[in-house]
Amino acid sequence: MDFDLTQDQREIQALTREFARAEIDPHAAEWDREHHFPRELYGRLAELGLMGVCVPEEYGGGGADFLSYILVLEELSRADAGVGVTVAVHTSAATLPLLAYGTDEQKSRFVPPLARGEQLGAFALTEAEAGSDAGALRTRAEAAGDGWTITGAKQWITNGRHAGTFILFARTDPEIAGARGVSAFILDAEHVRVTRDEEKLGLNSSATNDIVVEGARIGRDRLLHEENRGFRVAMGTLDGGRIGIAAQALGIAQAGYEVAREYAAERRAFGHRIGDFQAIQHKLADMSMEIDATRLLVYRAAWLKQQGRRHTEEGAKAKLFASEMARRQTAEAIQILGGYGYTKEFPVERYYRDAKITEIYEGTSEIQRLVIARSILGMTERSLVVR
């Protein structure tokens, strides 16, 4: 076993950390307060090669490995989890499925603008009545000439307002209920109309949108993977995407821990630093231990994916543990800061709000437990299609 990062991984981690410290962290509170999507930031991340860091160079990416990308998400999320999810969805959920399932023509046409950060990507699966049960989706793709006409509404689409390319899931066979009649399509911004900007508990620097597709005509060149096999694309994408969300949760928890540790060394009560009290020491010890444990789970899942090995169970474990840990430990960070922790004077209340979403998207904690249980019980038949 080798627990060391490679030289390349360490350099990418240091580059992202330095950029996030200088260019993101100082603005994160304001972006949160103003619900500001920092569009210009993604151009600068692109200049550093961080909008397609794990995409092969021949498609305009940085050519680094998947763990390097996970390190990028961890560092970005440590400064601002909204920036983290914007890059995570753009990369894991839009760019990587094009690489994994696209034809050569689709890869050369759609991936370079995404990998170079000229466009943002989005992933449009969820609908008002199809969340965890994504197979219940109603968006229709009706055969028309040598292609399809797509009609439907999607909900809570990250990057929706700013994306140039959408991976969108629609029902191609109305006769087949559930997941089997669904296909994946590649749409452009002009096929989509944004109908709402969602207001959220946190993650306010990210865009979460309702969108509609109103009779968009597309050709066969827009079908990603095989007809009626779109769920394979969705599930395969989420298997990898979850590792990114786990890294996001890890970054948020790390940020909370650092603020709490510094505060404990300075704040005085009863004539002592609060860090001298065993109750506070135990909280910090638990935080540090759980963050360490999470990091091992997350990096292992990333390593397995990089090796091309199965990572469904390990990715779900990493995401489940990381997200619940981040929610728990950001709450503890607030507790260590006492009343100040509950105010906007310190960032820990933002970390707590941002951490909560990691238990919900890319599959709720309940669904992660189902994924893990199915794997450990050897239930290979996807009788229950879950995300």
Ligand X SMILES: Cc1cc2nc3c(=O)[nH]c(=O)nc-3n(C[C@H](O)[C@H](O)[C@H](O)COP(=O)(O)OP(=O)(O)OC[C@H]3O[C@@H](n4cnc5c(N)ncnc54)[C@H](O)[C@@H]3O)c2cc1C
Tell me the β-bridge partners of 158.
208
Whether the CB-CB separation of 93 and 245 falls below 8 Å is answered with no
203 binds ligand X (CB under 6 A): yes
179 binds ligand X (CB under 6 A): no
362 noted as active-site residue? yes
Q: Could you tell me the smallest distance in angstroms from the CB atom of residue 13 to ligand X?
A: 26
Structure tokens belonging to residue 38: 């920092």
CB under 6 A: which stretch of 97-105, 125-133, 172-180, 293-301 binds ligand X?
125-133
Q: Which of 349, 362, 366, 381 is catalytic?
A: 362
Q: Name the residue nearer to ligand X (CB basis): 38 or 131.
A: 131
Q: Does residue 247 bind ligand X (CB under 6 A)?
A: no
Residues contacting residue 181 through CB under 8 Å, at least 6 positions apart: 171, 172, 173, 174, 175, 228
Q: Does 185 bind ligand X (CB under 6 A)?
A: no
Q: Does 183 bind ligand X (CB under 6 A)?
A: no
Q: Which of 114, 125, 223, 318 binds ligand X (CB under 6 A)?
A: 125
Query: Which residue stretch of 1-9, 54-62, 151-159, 252-260 sits at the interface with ligand X (rule: CB under 6 A)?
Result: 151-159
Binding ligand X by CB under 6 A: which of 12, 157, 213, 333? 157
Asked if 132 touches ligand X (CB under 6 A), the answer is yes
236 belongs to the binding site for ligand X (CB under 6 A): no
CB-based burial, 77-88: b 16+ in 10 Å, e otherwise: bbbbbbbbbbbb
Instruction: Give the C-alpha separation, 250 to 267, whole Å.
Output: 26
Q: Is 364 in the site for ligand X (CB under 6 A)?
A: yes
Contact code string over 207-226 relative to ligand X, x by CB under 6 A: -x------------------
Interacting residues of 37 by C-beta distance below 8 A, sequence separation 6+: 31, 82, 86, 161, 162, 205, 206, 207
124 makes contact with ligand X (CB under 6 A):
yes
**Cβ-proximal residue to ligand X, closest one:** 131
SS3 content of the chain, % helix, strand, coil (to 5): 55, 15, 25
Nearest Cα neighbor of 304 from 114, 70, 111 is 70
Phi, psi of 373 (to 5 degrees): -60, -45
Q: Is 172 in the site for ligand X (CB under 6 A)?
A: no
Q: How many CB atoms lie within 10 A of CB 264?
A: 19
Would you list the DSSP string of 75-104? Answer: HHHHH-HHHHHHHHIIIIIIIHHHHHH--H
Query: Closest CB to ligand X among 20 and 93?
Result: 93
Q: Give the residues lining the site for ligand X (CB under 6 A).
A: 89, 123-126, 131-133, 156-158, 200, 203, 208, 357, 360-364, 366-367, 370, 387
**Any idea which residues carry the catalytic annotation?**
362
